[in-house]
Amino acid sequence: MPVKVMIPTPLRAYAGKREAVELDAATVGEALGRLTSEFSELRKHLFTDDGKLRSFVNVYINDEDIRYLAKENTRTKDGDTISIIPSIAGGCCS
C-alpha cells in the first residue's frame, strides 16, 4: 500500500534532494525503514545507533503525532501521508 513520506528541507540533502517519496509500507516504522534503506545517509539523522527514532524527530501520519498512536507500529493505509518534522533549536542572545 503506497504511502507518501514528506522529507523536510534540512534533510533533503540526504534523500536525493527529494521533498517526498512514495513507498509501500504497512506501518510507519516500515515506511521509515524503507526510506532509510533507499537513502542510507538519512538513517543517522532519524535513528540512534540502536535503531530507535531520535527524540528530536517528530513523525506525523495525516497530521496525527505517532507518539499518541502506536508509535512506529502505527498502521498505514493507502494514500496516507507521513511527515518527518525535526525539532529546531537555536537562537542567541544579543
> Is the full-model pTM beyond 0.95?
no
**SS3 at position 53:** strand
Range 4-32 average pLDDT: 97
- Residue ranges and CATH numbers for the domains of the chain are 2-86 (3.10.20.30)
**pLDDT confidence band for 88 (50 / 70 / 90):** confident
Per-residue pLDDT of 25-78, as tens digits, reads 999 999 999 999 999 999 999 999 999 999 999 999 999 999 999 999 999 999
Q: By the 8 A CB rule, do 12 and 35 touch?
A: no
